[in-house]
Amino acid sequence: MYRQKRPPKLKNDPPLSLQYNKGYEAFSSVKQWTRKIDTATIIVTACPFKEHTMQAREWQRGYNKAYFDNLEKLHEANGRH
């Protein structure tokens, strides 16, 4: 039987867990920018990876996980479920 080979990893493809962890850490980083628009405060964080790549998606996934973990902590602290 003929088995297909996986495409070779590129030299610059580190494990995706690194990008995930960077995204998770970026949520609580002091390198976030804040902007005031009317009465709302907007938090802006830039992804360090090229758009539409697997690395950028993993970074975003880590950032989102940190956001929802923080949101859950806030709800628990306020007595919400």
| Cβ atoms of residues 32 and 44 within 8 Å | yes
Q: Say if 5 falls within a structural domain.
A: no
| Cβ atoms of residues 23 and 32 within 8 Å | no
Which pLDDT does position 71 carry in this prediction?
92
How far is it, in rounded angstroms, from Cα 61 to Cα 36?
A: 26
Q: Say if 9 falls within a structural domain.
A: no
Q: Say if 11 falls within a structural domain.
A: no
Range of the domain at 59: 16-77
Q: How many domains does the chain have?
A: 1
Q: Is the dihedral of CA 45, 48, 53, 59 positive or negative?
A: negative
User: What tens-digit pLDDT sequence spans the chain (81 residues)?
Assistant: 577 776 666 666 668 899 999 999 998 887 777 788 898 888 888 888 999 999 999 999 999 999 999 999 998 888 865
Q: Say if 6 falls within a structural domain.
A: no
Q: Say if 10 falls within a structural domain.
A: no
Tokens of residue 42, six digits: 């907007």
Collapsing DSSP to helix, strand or coil, 13 comes out as coil
How far is it, in rounded angstroms, from Cα 23 to Cα 59?
A: 4
